[in-house]
């Protein structure tokens, strides 16, 4: 799955890469993986999972989306807010 990185991420030197499963994406800073975002099934639709790659901590999410791509976009927005950007 290919996503264009949002402006807030590229402005801070970040990028996105497709995860090894083809369904998730990896948020990179300085060419190092920092977060993985993965769409997950939720109530017949999709939510997302955000995990820090260095320690396995997860950010909580409760939003529901109709498509995996929308869930990843929502996950990126949740990550932006969690980072205070």
Residue 1 pLDDT exceeds 90: no
Taking phi first (over 0 means left), then psi (-120 to 50 degrees means alpha), and beta for anything else, what does residue 56 get? left
- For residue 62, the model assigns a pLDDT of 83
Question: So what's the pLDDT on residue 61?
Answer: 83
pTM: 0.87
Region of 53 please: left (phi>0), alpha (psi -120 to 50) or beta. alpha
Q: How far is CA 66 from CA 38, 51, 63, in A?
A: 14, 21, 10
Average pLDDT of the chain, as a whole number: 92
Q: What is the largest CA-CA distance in the chain?
A: 37
């Amino acid at each position: 799955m290919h996503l264009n990185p949002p402006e807030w991420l590229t402005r801070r030197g970040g990028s996105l890469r497709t995860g090894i499963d083809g369904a998730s994406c990896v948020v990179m800073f300085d060419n190092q993986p920092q977060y993985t975002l993965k769409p997950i099934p939720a109530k017949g639709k999709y939510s997302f999972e955000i995990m820090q790659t260095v320690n396995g901590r997860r950010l909580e999410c409760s939003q529901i989306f109709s498509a995996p791509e929308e869930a990843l976009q929502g996950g990126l927005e949740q990550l932006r807010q969690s980072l205070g950007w």
